[in-house]
């Protein structure tokens, strides 16, 4: 009986010690996967010029970012344009769904934004125009999505990237909330690094850990030390995006302490200054 009790106690001690070690391991963040966290210009330098425009991307490039983030929409006649929202209402002088316009009709509109007391206007660029502007001087972090529930933008996207010889130079990363889209890209161009995105309050650590994708994109408020550490143990990078303009700086500072690997930033200068801490 005594031996049995001692045996139970020993097993309990081992289990407790193991649990303690796991808990202790989460006290400190593990090192980032990358040597230097990536500064990803979310829709360009959108704090200083109209988002997703050539000028916004030029400003971001001049700031020395690691990648230009580009959200894709497809026009009614199959052109790929830089546009985040499903509708054009928020960012342009038009209304309605981007997919209902032909490229010619899109080009008759302009993006419109007020910075300070000045309104700035600029046309909506196609992906081709962006690639033609920067060619192989920048890294492109492109978001794909389904179009009316169908996988129709992936093939023309890959064809365009091949035309500009960007895939052989490791100048493209593709991200999506749609696993169907990522799977299609993986079939067409398996050499492209892929990022699986999770919407705010929809992050699933188990799914992220077991996915085939090397990069996981998480909304800032869903980022925890546990999630970052566990993903790093799986060899996956963690790239963070920020949806609340009021708290974005505070959240950047918080996730910085967790050793995340990339920042989809709407404030390039702040992010670059934050990351200088690694060099000071």
* Under 8 Å between Cβ of 241 and 220: yes
Better-predicted residue by pLDDT, 231 or 10: 231
Residue 141 binned pLDDT confidence (cut-offs 50, 70, 90): very high
Residues 6+ apart with CB under 8 A from 148: 99
Q: What is the pLDDT of residue 4?
A: 53
Cα dist from 242 to 42, 205, 268, whole Å: 10, 18, 13
Instruction: Indicate if the pLDDT at residue 280 is higher than 70.
Output: no
The separation between CA 56 and the C-alpha centre of its own chain, rounded to angstroms, equals: 17
Q: What is the pLDDT of residue 278?
A: 63
pLDDT, one tens digit per residue, over 197-241 is 999 999 999 999 999 999 999 999 999 999 999 999 999 999 999
At 179, which helix (H) or strand (E)?
Answer: helix 179-188
For the chain, state the CA radius of gyration.
22
Instruction: Indicate if the pLDDT at residue 24 is higher than 50.
Output: no
Residue 162 binned pLDDT confidence (cut-offs 50, 70, 90): very high
Euclidean distance between CA atoms 41 and 63, whole angstroms = 9
Residue 3 binned pLDDT confidence (cut-offs 50, 70, 90): low
């Amino acid at each position: 009986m005594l031996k049995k009790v001692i045996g139970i106690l020993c097993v309990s001690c081992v289990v407790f010690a193991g649990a303690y070690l796991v808990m202790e391991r989460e006290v400190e963040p593990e090192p980032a996967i990358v040597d230097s966290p990536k500064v990803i210009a979310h829709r360009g330098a959108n704090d200083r010029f109209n988002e997703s425009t050539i000028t916004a991307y030029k400003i971001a490039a001049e700031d020395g970012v690691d990648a230009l983030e580009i959200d894709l929409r497809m026009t009614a006649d199959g052109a790929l344009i830089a546009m985040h929202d499903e509708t054009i209402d928020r960012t342009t002088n038009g209304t309605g769904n981007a997919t209902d316009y032909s490229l010619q009709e899109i080009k008759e509109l302009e993006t419109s934004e007020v910075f300070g007391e000045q309104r700035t206007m600029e046309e909506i660029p196609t992906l081709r125009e962006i690639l033609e502007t920067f060619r192989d001087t920048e890294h492109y972090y492109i978001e794909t999505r389904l179009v009316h529930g169908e996988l129709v933008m992936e093939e023309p996207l890959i064809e365009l990237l091949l035309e500009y010889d960007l895939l052989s130079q490791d100048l493209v990363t593709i991200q999506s909330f749609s696993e169907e889209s990522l799977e299609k890209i993986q079939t067409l161009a398996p050499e492209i690094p892929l990022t699986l995105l999770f919407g705010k309050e929809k992050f699933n650590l188990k799914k992220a850990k077991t996915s085939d994708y090397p990069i996981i994109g998480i909304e800032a408020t869903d980022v925890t030390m546990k999630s970052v550490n566990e993903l790093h143990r799986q060899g996956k990078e963690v790239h963070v995006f920020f949806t609340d303009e009021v708290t974005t700086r505070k959240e950047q500072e918080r996730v910085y302490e967790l050793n995340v690997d990339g920042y989809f930033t709407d404030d390039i200068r702040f992010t670059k200054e934050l990351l200088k801490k690694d060099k000071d």
